[in-house]
Structure 1
Amino acid sequence: MSAALDEMARSIALREAEVMRFALGDRWGKRQPAQRASARVYAAERGGGWIDVARRRLAFGAGELVFLPRADAHAIRDRPTTSLEQPEALCRGMHAVADRALATEAPPEAHLVIVDLHLDAAGAPWLALLPPAVHITGATPGLARWLGETLALLAGARDLSPALRRSIGETWAHALFASALRDPGASLPRAEALRDEPVVAALARVRASPERAWELGELARQAGLSRSAFAARSTALLGEPLGHHVRRLRLQRAAVLLGETTLPVKLVAARVGYDSEPAFARAFARAHGVSPIAYRQARRREDGAPEIRRAG
C-alpha cells in the first residue's frame, strides 16, 4: 500500500511555493478563505497557535507543522478565546521587516512560517478524500525533522536558484501529501487499484520513462489483468486515462528540458517521445499556453538568465 500512496502523492505538480515569515505578539488571528488549486502549511519556529478548520480545532507548537492539503477555509489565532468577529485580520501594527517577512508592533511571542503551495492537481481526484488538516509533530521524528529542515532551507536560503527552489519545493510537497494520505483521517476509497501493487508498479515504470511508446495491452499483461480491468484501475488511481497521463508527463518533462538545458526544440521533442517537432510544438502550446521557444525565453527571464547546463 505504501508504494501506491507514494505514487499518488507524486501525481501532484507544484507550480509555485510562496513562503512568508511572521513575528506575532499581543492578540492576533485571521480568517482565511478557501483557496483553489492550493495547499497551505503553518509551521511554528517559536511559540505556536490554534487552527480551526472543518469543525476541528488543532493546537500546534514550536517545531510542529499543520498541513492543509486543500487550503480549506479556516481560522488561525493565538489562543481559542481570541475573537475573530471582524472580517479583517486581528494583527495590530503589522508591518514589513524584511523581504517576505512581517511583524506586529508588540514583542513577538510566536514566530510562524506560512507556505502557500500552488498546485497542478489535474491527476489527483483523491485530494477530496484527504482530511482537512494534518498535524505533523515530534511523534514521527524522522519525517518531522526532515520536513522542518527542508522548510528552513526554502525559507532562509536566498541564494538558491529558482529552478533548484522549485525542485526542492516539489519534493517537500510530495512528502507532505504522502503524509496526508497515510493520516488516519484520510478516507481512502476501497477501490482495488489503490492496493494493487502490480498496477502501481506498471504506472511507476510509465512515470520513469514517459517517452516510451507504451501499449495499454502490454502494461495490462505485465500486471496480470485484462486490458479493460487495467484501464479502469489505472484511471481510478490517476484520475485520468493513461494516455492523457502519459502526454502530461511528457510535456512536464519537456518544460524542464526547455528551462534547464540548451537542447534544440527538435531534440527536446525527441527526448520526450515525439517524432514530429510541429506535433510537439502544438501539444506543448495547448498545455502551457505558449510555444516551446517562448516558454524557454520566459523561463530564462524569470530565472535571471542563469548559466544553463548543456545536456548530452
Structure 2
Amino acid sequence: MSAAFDELARSVVVRETEVLRFALGDRWGKRRPAQRASARVYAAMHGGGWVDVMGRRLALGPGELVFLPRADEHAVRDRPSTPLAHPEAVCVGMRAVGDGALATAAAPETRLVIVDLHLDAAGAPWLALLPPAVHVTAEAPGLARWLNETLALLAGAPDLSPALRRAVGEAWGHALFASALRDPGAALPRREALRDEPIAATLARVRASPERAWELADLARQAGLSRSAFAARATALLGEPLGHHLRRLRLSRAAVLLGETTLPVKVVAARVGYDSEPAFARAFARAHGVSPVAYRQARRREEGALEAGRAGG
C-alpha cells in the first residue's frame, strides 16, 4: 500500500514553508484559530509540551512531532494546567532574538520549532478525512529521524536559496501527509483504492512526465486494465478525474519554471505540454488568477524582498 499512499500525498501542493524557532521558559502557551489552506507542525528539539486539538490531548516529547494536517483550531502549552482563557497567549517577555527566532525572558526549558505549510489542496479532497493530529514518535525511528534532520536543515540554514527551500519543504510536507494517510485514525472511504498498486505505479509515471501527451488507453494497457476500469480506479485513488489531475500537474510545474528560471513563456508552455502559448496563458490564469508574466513578476518581487530582508538582518 505504500506506493499508493505516497502517490496520494503528492497530490497536495506545498506552496510555501515558514519556520519559526522558540526558546521557551517558565509558563507558556497559545490558543490558535483554524488556518485555511495550511498545515502546522510542532517539533520539540528539547523539552516538550502539550497540544490540544479537536478533543485530543497529545504530549509532545523531545525529538517528537505533532502534525496538524488541516491546521484546525488548537492550543499548545507547557503543561495541561496552564490557563489560556484570557489572554489567549501566555509567553512572558517574548522577544525576537534572530531571524525567525523568538525567546521568552526566562531561561529556556523547551526549544520548539513550528512549521507552517501553506498548501494548494484543490486536488486532495481526502484531507478532510484525515485525523486532526498525527503524533510522530520514536516508535517510527526512521521517519522521526529523517523528519527531524530535514527540519534542522530548514530551520538552521537561512542561506538556502528560495528554490531549494521550497523543494526541501515540499518533500518534508509530503512525507508528513503520507504518514497521516497511514494513521489508523484516517477515515478514508474505499480503502481498497489505496491498495491499488498497479494504478499507483502508472500514475507515478504520469507525475514524472506530465508534459507528455498521455493517452488513457495506453495507460490502461500498461496497468493491464480496460480503459473504463483504469479511469474509474484512477479517479478513486486521486479524488478527481485523471485529466484534471494532469492539468494541475502541468500548471504547477509551469509555476515553478516561471518562478525559478528566465525561460520565455513560450518555452515554459512547451516544457509542460502546451503547443499554444495563448492556450497555456488562459489555462494558467484560470489556475493561478494571474497571467504567466504577472506571476513571474510577483515572484521576482517576493524574492527581492526576501533578499533585502536577509541583507538588512
TM-score normalised by the chain length of structure 1: 0.93
Q: In structure 2, how many angstroms separate the alpha carbons of the residues matched to 1:221 and 1:115?
A: 42
Letter in 2 for 1:252: S
Q: In structure 1, how many angstroms separate the alpha carbons of the residues matched to 2:180 and 2:192?
A: 20
Cα RMSD after superposing both structures: 1.7
Which residue in the other structure is 2:2 paired with?
2
Which residue in the other structure is 1:77 paired with?
77
Q: Secondary structure at the match of 1:83?
A: coil
Which residue in the other structure is 2:148 paired with?
148
- Which deviates more, 144-153 or 92-101? 92-101
Which residue in the other structure is 1:209 paired with?
209
Contact kept, 8 Å, 1:154 with 1:165, in 2: the verdict is yes
Letter in 2 for 1:83: P
1:196-250 CA-partner distances (Å, limit 9, x unpaired): 1121122112111111122223322332333333222222221221111111111
1:118-152 CA-partner distances (Å, limit 9, x unpaired): 11111111112212111112222221111101111
Alignment of 1:247-286 (within 5 A): 247-286=247-286
Q: Secondary structure at the match of 1:108?
A: coil
Which residue in the other structure is 2:299 paired with?
299
Contact kept, 8 Å, 1:31 with 1:87, in 2: the verdict is no
Contact kept, 8 Å, 1:122 with 1:239, in 2: the verdict is no
Contact kept, 8 Å, 1:192 with 1:233, in 2: the verdict is no
1:170-200 CA-partner distances (Å, limit 9, x unpaired): 0010111111112222223234322111211
Which residue in the other structure is 1:309 paired with?
none
Contact kept, 8 Å, 1:161 with 1:303, in 2: the verdict is no
Where do 4+ consecutive residues of structure 1 move more than 6 Å? none
Which residue in the other structure is 2:157 paired with?
157
Q: In structure 2, how many angstroms separate the alpha carbons of the residues matched to 1:191 and 1:101?
A: 42
Which residue in the other structure is 1:89 paired with?
89
Letter in 1 for 2:235: T
Which stretches in structure 1 are left out of the alignment for 5+ residues?
307-312
Which residue in the other structure is 1:310 paired with?
none
Q: In structure 2, how many angstroms separate the alpha carbons of the residues matched to 1:295 and 1:149?
A: 33
TM-superposed deviation, 1:161: 0.8
Q: In structure 2, how many angstroms separate the alpha carbons of the residues matched to 1:159 and 1:67?
A: 26
Q: In structure 2, how many angstroms separate the alpha carbons of the residues matched to 1:241 and 1:84?
A: 45
Gap change, CA 1:114 and 1:263, over 3 Å in 2: same
Which residue in the other structure is 1:101 paired with?
101
Identity %: 82
Q: In structure 1, how many angstroms separate the alpha carbons of the residues matched to 2:298 and 2:137?
A: 40
TM-superposed deviation, 1:305: 10
Letter in 1 for 2:197: E
- Which deviates more, 157-166 or 226-235? 226-235
- Which deviates more, 142-151 or 261-270? 261-270
Which residue in the other structure is 1:183 paired with?
183
Q: In structure 2, how many angstroms separate the alpha carbons of the residues matched to 1:265 and 1:83?
A: 54
Which residue in the other structure is 1:287 paired with?
287
Which residue in the other structure is 2:138 paired with?
138
Letter in 1 for 2:47: G
Contact kept, 8 Å, 1:24 with 1:103, in 2: the verdict is yes
Letter in 1 for 2:154: L
Which residue in the other structure is 2:166 paired with?
166
TM-score normalised by the chain length of structure 2: 0.92
Number of aligned positions between the proteins: 306
Q: Secondary structure at the match of 1:214?
A: coil
Q: In structure 2, how many angstroms separate the alpha carbons of the residues matched to 1:191 and 1:290?
A: 37
- Which deviates more, 118-127 or 135-144? 135-144
